[in-house]
Structure 1
Amino acid sequence: MKTNHTLIQPSRYRFIDQSSLGPAFSPLQSFAMDDALSMSVGEGMSPTTARLWVHHNTVVLGIPDARLPYVSEAVDYLKSEGYQAIVRNSGGLAVVLDEGVLNLSLIFPDSKELNIHDGYDAMVSFIQLLFSDLTDEIEAYEITRSYCPGTYDLSIRGQKFAGISQRRVKNGSAVQIYLDVTGSGSERAYLLKRFYEIGKRDEDTRFQYPDINPRVMASLNELLGSQLSVADVRDRILTQIYKLSGEVVPAPLEGQEIEWFNKRLEQMIQRNEKALDHLR
């Protein structure tokens, strides 16, 4: 029997559910939230935190994506398909978010004392546990022709359904995962395949952008033959963190956390204005 990672077994979890806030909830706010929570958890003001979030028809770009030779045309393509584009402050490349994609952030303390792989391994352990009644085939390794490929891609039988990133702020770390729950993983991948084809064309670039094969990506429902909804997975997560800790406290940002959030949100806005200013 696989042992759960110690990081996902604190004595108490804080739970923040922003998965049903709708299209008005900006992805920029999400990344500012995780920064503020990382600072709070790192300072010992907050326990380990689980935050859920959903964003509608958004492509979250990495910094290298904003440097594509024809990024303006590529972003115009995304807009023509009904997607907005923003640039995130954590690592990685472009990912697709929509109503069928549930994002989970686990915010852990003591990042300065922990190896960066601990945060990734903890998230892998959590997701394997989360769906252990449905499958024991979830693996973590790079799916090279997926979008935003990385060592901690999560897949079933070689098809990726989730990707993990991590951002460390002060003494806290936010480990973020997107979970393709419903819909077509290959259609999401095709959107980004065209984005890179339009944005790069035949130009030689110093950065190696992914050569996406849509067939290597799928949603959980496609892989499991299930009828899970985002709300179902949300309930699973809440149940799981209660089982792991025994105490779950729903609590919004307050006091100093709100100040940190506002400051980080302004930084995210400025980052996006700078990165995408040439597209205006």
Structure 2
Amino acid sequence: MEDKSKQLLAQPKWRIIDQTTLGDSFHALQSFAMDDTLCSSIGSEDSPPTVRAWVHQKTVVLGIQDSRLPELHEGVKFLESQGYQVIVRNSGGLAVVLDHGVLNLSLILSEKKNKIDIDQGYDAMVYMTRRILEKYGLSFDVVEISDSYCPGKFDLSIDGKKFAGISQRRLRGGIAVQIYLCVTGSGADRAALIRDFYDKAKSHESMKFTYPKVNPEVMASLSELVGKDLTVSDLMRDVLLFLKEQDADLLSSHLSITEINQYDFYLKRVVDRNNKALEQ
């Protein structure tokens, strides 16, 4: 699969949208609208493949399944009391923590001409992450860490400690492969926050869906794992260097006028879905 991953990443041109320094004014719901917009634009080949990087301040992003927790409002009140915004994303997976020490990357590709199977998209992100972390002497396993938050087949971990998770969203011929990388801070503290959220949002009655029993000891940041301070800026630089090594032209840009109009539509849809999910 590595050759196919390399092929996906060996694009002649990569569009770069860096939203890592927008601060408090950049809401997480805007991020999901951005990726939907770019999926549509790239899927129709009105834009080249794109890498979007983003950081949000103290936000917990819930999955659709989390929005069905019996005591959801108690859980949300707890998170808000800890200074976190709470949103529900329009894709799969479960609760994750975003803050200034978490770098999010989206690889957004078109499958208009060539079908990209699900694992191929995941493998491309894994390959890029391996190459980026090589310089720090880090190698990692790709295996589900069942007692982490948002466990999945493509969890990335070192010595059993998860530092990243990958998801995908597909829309209108475009594919967004998304990874969150815990770069700085305490992985255990983030995990404890989600553990406590579930403790408050679950009921004592049996539920059809099994939510993870989060163990803070199985999560860490890259800074903790490498034993020195890394920053989001460090990792963002490494991403750009990796793409340059693929002989790609890098084009830094914002949304086009057409994309801005699409973005308004997708943002309204994301906000409406979020409000509906949190009202349940």
Residues in 2 aligned to 1:190 and 1:201: alpha-carbon distance in whole angstroms: 18
2:209 to 207, 210, 229: 207
Within the alignment, does 1:161 sit opposite 2:142 as a pair? no
CA contact (8 A) 2:183 2:230 kept: yes
- Structure 1 portions without partners, runs of 5+: none
RMSD: 1.3
Cα distance, 1:137 vs structure 2? 2.0
Determine the structure 1 residue equivalent to 2:12: 11
Quote the sequence identity (%).
49
In the alignment, residue 103 of structure 1 is paired with which amino acid?
N
Cα distance, 1:163 vs structure 2? 0.5
Residues in 1 aligned to 2:63 and 2:115: alpha-carbon distance in whole angstroms: 27
Residues in 1 aligned to 2:20 and 2:247: alpha-carbon distance in whole angstroms: 22
Residues in 1 aligned to 2:269 and 2:247: alpha-carbon distance in whole angstroms: 34
Determine the structure 2 residue equivalent to 1:116: 118
Residues in 2 aligned to 1:195 and 1:8: alpha-carbon distance in whole angstroms: 37
CA contact (8 A) 1:101 1:181 kept: yes
Determine the structure 2 residue equivalent to 1:35: 36
Aligned residue runs from structure 1 range 178-189, under 5 A:
178-189=180-191
String of CA shifts for 1:33-62, please: whole Å, max 9, x gaps.
001111111111111100000000000000
Residues in 2 aligned to 1:30 and 1:85: alpha-carbon distance in whole angstroms: 14
Determine the structure 1 residue equivalent to 2:60: 59
Determine the structure 2 residue equivalent to 1:175: 177
Runs of 4+ in 1 over 2 A off after TM superposition: 2-5
String of CA shifts for 1:78-128, please: whole Å, max 9, x gaps.
011100100001210000000000100010110771211111110001100
CA contact (8 A) 1:53 1:103 kept: yes
String of CA shifts for 1:204-262, please: whole Å, max 9, x gaps.
11111001111000000111112111111111111111212331001111122111111
1:232 to 231, 234, 250: 234
Residues in 2 aligned to 1:137 and 1:234: alpha-carbon distance in whole angstroms: 18
How many residue pairs are counted as aligned between the two chains? 277
**TM-score (ref. length: structure 2):** 0.96
Cα distance, 1:136 vs structure 2? 4.5
**TM-score (ref. length: structure 1):** 0.96
